[in-house]
Amino acid sequence: MSQKTATPPRDGFSSRFGLIAAAAGSAVGLGNIWKFPYIVGENGGSAFILIYLISILCVGLPVLLAEFIVGRRGGANAVRSFKKLAPNTKWPIIGWLGIIAAFMILGFYTVIAGYTIHYFILSITNAFSGMTSEQITQTFNQFSSGYAPIIYTIIFILLSVIVLFGGIKNGIEKYTKVLMPGLVGIIILLVIRAVTLPGAGEGLQFLFKPDFSQLSMSAILDALGHSFFSLSVGMGTMLTYGSYISKKENLASVSCSIAIADTMIALLAGVAIFPAVFAFGIDPTAGPGLVFITLPNVFLQMPGGNIFGALFFLLLFIAALTSVVSIFEVIITYVTEELNVNRRKALLLTTLAVIVISIVCSLSQTPNTFLSFNGHSLFDWMDLLSANVLLPIGGLLIMLFLGFVMKKDEVADELSQGSKSIKTTMVYLTITKFIAPLAIAIVFLTGIQALFH
Ligand code: PFF
């Protein structure tokens, strides 16, 4: 019997829970547990949180929905989806920018992700026991400016490859369905430990009692920028996941669930961290070192602290892993579809490239490095350029594409799975055409300005 070589059906998420676990897994990452608490600390607490919530609602969420709409309608990688929806135009550039951003974010993100493995080991082996506060700081400074992070970064990348190997349904979905409930369980345990510490009330007040006198213009911009990074939007990640979503799913409700999950976990991370920081009289405005310097001090003073410390770094590890695989997927889906190679080969090529970029990023943190320009290391540049420039530009262009280029019928169809709801579509299109682009343009212009000062 002659056998026709039919193309196999495209991979995809097999259940709603799997889709939400994977997409929320992408959104919930180092941004929620490492960055959110320290920017809240630096910007005076709860007034900042309020601005952040408004940014998520008015900008982050509409961009997330836009990416899902373009991805599902296009049914392909970030570049090809635009090619299909707007043939012979320059719009596929959005996809290209996304791929560049993916390499840049992976470059620095996997380095910090590697730290979590080292800190997990330090905590579980009780290595901080007996250390003074200065010694804990020294441990971090010596580690982060040395060569050891390279090893942990490579280990982390190889662990991501295990998740990515099976594809969407049998890889990303399969693992995130287990990892995400695990993450929620750990954070709840840590929250219970933190709020039952004597003196925890002060930390909760810092988080939940707004003090608007602390709110500066730069805090507002930080909040808006962070809402992009935190929801993983502006670079085609959610667009790529969107291309694997079945036609049955209601994209608006899935997007809301993800935004709620992401915000809840960021807030819970704050509740797990600040009461403990205040209970032990430690400065809450410690900046990026909050997690790796301040928290080991906190755990050291806590009964059973090494176990809670290990749990915390495990939490950070899981959060980073489920985000890193989503960024990888932008590149892998592109390479498989455009270079016409199988997933295994695409994974190998992408992994090698990411390992090289991450090593260079990590080396830029060592003393006397030549990988530093204009007062920032290459590592910082990757972070600044992706979060302050590429993500806002990507988000802005996606909104403009959806608002002005894509056919209104197609948007309505994707929004309502066929039964066209004109009112929702009109409200959504007004946000996409005017409100969100304006807000993003402001963040972008200010972000650029900050880079060159
Ligand atoms: N949302 C992730 C976090 O908060 O850590 C970071 C991230 C993941 C950014 C995926 C962008 C992305 F495409």
Q: What is the pLDDT of residues 90-131, one digit of tens each?
A: 999 999 999 999 999 999 999 999 999 999 999 999 999 999
| Residue whose tokens read 């942990």 | 152
Q: What is the chain's mean pLDDT, rounded?
A: 90
Q: What was the pLDDT predicted at 241?
A: 98
314 pLDDT higher than 80: yes
Tally of structural domains, the chain: 1
The closest residue, in CA terms, to atom 11 on ligand 1 is 232
Q: How far is the CA of 325 from the centre of ligand 1 (A)?
A: 10
Atom of ligand 1 minimally distant from the CA of 320: 5
| Residue whose tokens read 């213009």 | 217
4 lies in a domain?
A: no
Residue pair 321/116 in contact by the 8 Å Cβ criterion = no
168 lies in a domain?
A: yes
Atom of ligand 1 minimally distant from the CA of 30: 5
| Residue whose tokens read 């992706």 | 386
Q: Is 27 in the pocket of ligand 1 (CB under 6 A)?
A: yes
5 lies in a domain?
A: no
1 lies in a domain?
A: no
Q: How far is the CA of 73 from the centre of ligand 1 (A)?
A: 23
Q: What was the pLDDT predicted at 126?
A: 94
> Which residue has better confidence, 99 or 304?
99
Q: What was the pLDDT predicted at 278?
A: 81
Task: Tell me the C-alpha distance between 25 and 8, whole Å.
Answer: 27
Task: Tell me the CATH number at 170.
Answer: 1.10.4160
Nearest CA among 112, 111, 81, 97 for reference residue 386: 97
Q: Is 263 in the pocket of ligand 1 (CB under 6 A)?
A: no
Residue pair 231/323 in contact by the 8 Å Cβ criterion = no
Nearest CA among 203, 185, 236 for reference residue 76: 236
453 pLDDT higher than 90: no
In Å, how far are 30, 272, 284, 430, 436 from 54, measured between CA atoms?
A: 21, 23, 24, 17, 12
SS3 429: helix
Angle, helix 391-400 to helix 436-451, in steps of 10 degrees = 160
Q: What was the pLDDT predicted at 2?
A: 44
9 lies in a domain?
A: no
56 pLDDT higher than 70: yes
Q: How far is the CA of 27 from the centre of ligand 1 (A)?
A: 5
Task: Tell me the C-alpha distance between 224 and 26, whole Å.
Answer: 18
Helix (H), strand (E) at residue 443? helix 436-451
**Amino acid letter, 292:** F
- pLDDT tens profile 354-380: 999 999 999 998 887 777 787 788 888
Domain span at residue 189? 15-451
Range in 29-33, 233-237, 414-418 with the lowest mean pLDDT: 414-418
Q: Is 232 in the pocket of ligand 1 (CB under 6 A)?
A: yes
- pLDDT tens profile 192-250: 988 888 888 888 888 887 777 777 777 888 888 899 999 999 999 999 999 999 999 99
Pocket residue to mutate for ligand 1, from 40, 94, 232, most atoms within 8 A of Cβ? 232
Q: Is 31 in the pocket of ligand 1 (CB under 6 A)?
A: yes
Task: Tell me the C-alpha distance between 29 and 326, whole Å.
Answer: 11
443 pLDDT higher than 80: no
- The Cβ of residue 24 has, within 10 Å, a number of other Cβ atoms equal to 25
- The Cβ of residue 86 has, within 10 Å, a number of other Cβ atoms equal to 16
Q: What was the pLDDT predicted at 286?
A: 63
Q: How far is the CA of 231 from the centre of ligand 1 (A)?
A: 6
Q: Count H helices, E strands: the chain? A: 22, 2
Q: What was the pLDDT predicted at 201?
A: 87
Most confident of 206-215, 318-327, 388-397: 318-327
Atom of ligand 1 minimally distant from the CA of 236: 13
Q: Is 32 in the pocket of ligand 1 (CB under 6 A)?
A: yes
Q: Is 110 in the pocket of ligand 1 (CB under 6 A)?
A: no
Residue pair 391/231 in contact by the 8 Å Cβ criterion = no
Most distant pair of Cα atoms in the chain: their distance: 78
2 lies in a domain?
A: no
Q: Is 230 in the pocket of ligand 1 (CB under 6 A)?
A: yes
3 lies in a domain?
A: no
Q: How far is the CA of 352 from the centre of ligand 1 (A)?
A: 21
Pocket residue to mutate for ligand 1, from 230, 267, 333, most atoms within 8 A of Cβ? 230
The closest residue, in CA terms, to atom 13 on ligand 1 is 232
Task: Tell me the C-alpha distance between 131 and 314, whole Å.
Answer: 22
Range in 189-193, 269-273, 279-283 with the lowest mean pLDDT: 279-283
Q: Is 229 in the pocket of ligand 1 (CB under 6 A)?
A: yes
- pLDDT tens profile 339-349: 999 999 999 99
74 pLDDT higher than 90: yes
50 lies in a domain?
A: yes
How far the first Cα of the chain sits from its last, in Å, is 70
SS3 372: strand
Cβ neighbours of residue 47 closer than 8 Å, sequence gap 6 or more: 210, 211, 212, 214, 215, 219
- The Cβ of residue 420 has, within 10 Å, a number of other Cβ atoms equal to 14
Q: Which pair of tokens denotes residue 63? A: 């961009």
As beta bridge partners, residue 376 has 373
The answer to whether the predicted template modeling score (pTM) of the entire model surpasses 0.75 is yes
